[in-house]
Structure formats: structure tokens, C-alpha cells
Amino acid sequence: MKQTIAVILAAGEGKRMKSRKSKVVHKIFGKSLIEWIYTSVKEAGIDESIVVVGHRADQVIECMGDRVKYAEQKQQLGTGHAVMQAEEYFKDKDGYVLVLYGDTPLVTSKTLKDVIEFHENNGCSATVITAEVDDPTGYGRIIRDGNGNVIKIVEQKDASSEEAAIKEINSGMYCFTIEHFVKALRMLNNDNNQGEYYITDTIGILVEMGHKVGALKLSDPREILGINDRVQLFEASEIIKARIMERHMRSGVTIIDPASTYIDEGVEIGIDTVIYPGTILEGNTRIGEDCIIGPDSRLVNAVIGDGTEVNHSVILDSSVGNNTHVGPFAYVRPGSSIGDKVKIGDFVEIKKAEIGDKTKISHLTYVGDAQVGRNVNIGCGVVTVNYDGKKKHKTIIGDNAFVGCNVNLVAPVVVENDTYIAAGSTITDDVPQNSLAIARERQTIKDGWVIRKGMQRKE
């Protein structure tokens, strides 16, 4: 089987983005533009990708890491020149080269598979990915012969009136047979007003050499859309969003209002889960079956079990078990693990804490740097006092403990199994099993104090 290599061009400056970042590292639904095209390449079964970097190369390399190989275009002298920088990776190989762009996130793996298959089955030296659009202004026109083969690509400025009326356009993406492509690259020149080497010229060179050039016309022309500014970034985002939403809904997820819902590409959601409006699901979030998420909830890299509800809450880099209720207005911070059949109620904050099964933390409570056992009841206004001004310390609460309202647990402290802590207590020492801890001053009444001190409140 012949090898296919992808060359992804990512050296351009992208001035119209008006950004300090490389254009191709701007993100759509959790993935950079270049990662979208790279994912399509991988899903098409292409294992080797060469990224041509130039402007802000460090950002592109940081984004892609060791997933790809790199070639550097030190001077931006056209698309043909960019591909020349990658020639060392494929010049002695037998197979095909896909030439793609780091700012075209909408191209699907199916299209890439189709163009390789078309190229191979039709014995082409080059295959152009094309699309038919209502307004082809500004694009190169595809000129075919009577057999449907491409004989040339005519740019807008060079097109006759008859050629300008053609609506089939060049996407700028190609599949080449390596042997012929290398020869054509070496014949490129920059004899034009811009002094640049254009990959488009290789098509004419191959035709003149007597090689066959084909064209695969896409059914959805939106796949070829490139990103040049923030408006086009938004337009592409809307298309990708629709794809993501449709995939989840066809997989058994109810999304009540897709327009007001944000779901990153990497998110997984089980069947019969309902996503309410205003929900944001980011990163590697995984949600089980039969859950209710939202409204107005944000989950980032969260793992949620089956049958769990998250209402008006935020969960970051944490896990929540099965049949648990979170919210409304709860905040689960990174490093937390919440068990099954737990209640995390309104205005509860959990930080780097482990919460055992069937535990209830119903409202207005902070549990940080803590290990909480099974079937624990933590009352309103409880605080694990974990910070002494220099270091964080851990609170451990055993199984079946009952912590009354407005209790301060000053860490490090251990509350053992089957204990009670009286409301209003500040606990600084460990509480042994089966004990009741009371740490508050006895109530004192001073009769007439308000009058003697002149402290009456008047309207």
C-alpha cells in the first residue's frame, strides 16, 4: 500500500486576525484551527504530517508538539515555496502528498479519504479539491476538458468572461503523486509580479508534461472555507457547533436549546442525558447516562456519573459519582472527588476534597483540602479552616459523622467515625469515635445592657 503524507501549511502571518497569536492556534470549540485539520488527517488514516512553520513558529510548535514533523519557511515566498521546504520528507518516497492549510478547520476526514481514493482510482498525478459556489469572485476557476480532467486553473484577474462565469473554484488543497510532484516543484519559478512561487503553477506544469490532473468536487462547499479574520472564525465556529450538536443529539442526548449551549469537541455525553440552556461543557468532560446538566452550568474536564444532576453550578477538573445532586450555585474546584448519592447544595464550595457516598452538604459551606467519609451530614455554614497563613492543612471526617451548623474545623484535625459536633463549635483538636464535641462559651445574659449603653435602634 502506498504511503500518504500530509503537508499542512501554517507559516503565514494572518494580519487580518489582529492578534499577537499565530492565526492557526486560535481555537474553535476547544481545538486550535490547525488541530482541526490535523484531526481530519489522522482520522483519514494518514500517519505522517509535516507542518510548515514560519511566522510565530514557536506558538505553532508549542500547540502541535511532537505529533507532527516540521519544516521552516524563513521567508514567505508563496505556497509553492512553502511546500518546497518540506520536500526532504517525501522526495524519495513512493505514494501521495496531500497539501492542506492550517486555517481550514472544516475539511472532514471523509473528504480526505475520498480525494485519495479518487486520485488513486483515476490514475491522476494531481487531484484538486474543488467546490461550486454561487459567487466565485476572487477564486481560481477550474477549467476541465471534455473528459472532466483539469487542464488549467485560471485566476480571477486572468479569466476571460467565459471563464469568469465558471462557478467551480479551486480550494487550494491537492493530492499529488510524490514522484511527479517533486519534479513539478523543481520546475516552479517566481516570474510574476509578486516574485512568489505558487503551488497552483504545478498543475499547469503537470498538464504540460502529459500527466492527468483530476478534480474532486465537494458536495458541501463550506468545507473549503479558510479563516482570515475574527468574523470568519465565528462563521466557522457556527458550522462546527452545528456538527457537534447534531452528533450528540443523534447519539441520544437531548439539547434543549443548541443556540445557547457550548460543547467542546472532546466532550462525551451518555444517552438520555438532558442539557439545559446556558450550559458550557469544555475540555475532556465526560457525562454519563440519564443526567440533567444545567441550566447555566459550566463543566471543565469533569467526569460525571449516571443519573446525576448539576444545576446552576461550576465543576472544574473533578469527578462526581452516580445519582448525585450538585447545586444550585455550587462551586466544585479542581482536584475534588464526589461520590454516589451525594448532595452538594446551594452556595457550597468544594476544593481538593474527597466526599464519600451518601454524604449531604446542603448549603453555605466550604470544604477544602478534606477527606469526608460516607453518610456524613455537614450543616449550614460549616468551614474547614485549611489555611494557617503559610500552609494548607487537611481535615479528615469519618463515616456517619454529624457536623452541626456554623462549625469551624481548624485543620489539621481528625473527626472520627460516628461523632457529633455541636452547632457553633470551633474544633481545634481531634474528636474520638462515638463522641460529642462542644467548643463554645456558655451563653451569658446581661439584663438592661442595651439601655445602659444607649444602644437602642431607632428609625
Helix/strand/coil for 164 = helix
Q: Which cell goes with 274? A: 438532558
Helix/strand/coil for 376 = coil
How many other CB atoms sit within 10 Å of the CB of residue 143? 16
CA 253 to each of CA 211, 213, 284: distance values in angstroms, whole numbers, following the listed order? 50, 44, 17
How many other CB atoms sit within 10 Å of the CB of residue 360? 17
Distance (Å, whole) CA 228 – CA 1: 37
Q: Which H or E element spans position 137?
A: none
Rg (CA), the chain: 31
Task: Work out the end-to-end distance of the chain between its first and last CA atoms, rounded to an integer number of angstroms.
Answer: 91
The amino acid at residue 358 is K
Active-site residue identified among 26, 81, 211, 363? 363
Torsion of CA 165, 166, 171, 173, to 10 degrees: -140
How many other CB atoms sit within 10 Å of the CB of residue 183? 15
In sequence order, what are the residues at sequence separation of 6 or more whose Cβ sits closer than 8 angstroms to the Cβ of residue 87? Answer: 182, 185
Q: Ramachandran region of residue 272, left (φ > 0), alpha (ψ -120 to 50) or beta?
A: left
Q: Are strands 168-177 and 126-132 parallel, antiparallel or unpaired?
A: antiparallel
For cell 481530519, name the residue.
40
Is-catalytic flag, 363?
Answer: yes
| Backbone φ and ψ of 136, nearest 5° | -85, 10
Helix/strand/coil for 268 = strand
Distance (Å, whole) CA 227 – CA 208: 33
- Strand runs (DSSP E) across 62-167, as ranges? 69-72, 95-101, 126-132, 141-144, 150-154
CA 298 to each of CA 74, 295, 437: distance values in angstroms, whole numbers, following the listed order? 42, 9, 38
Cα–Cα nearest to 14, from 228, 196, 230: 228
C-alpha 28: how far from its chain's center? 7
Q: Which residues are catalytic?
A: 363
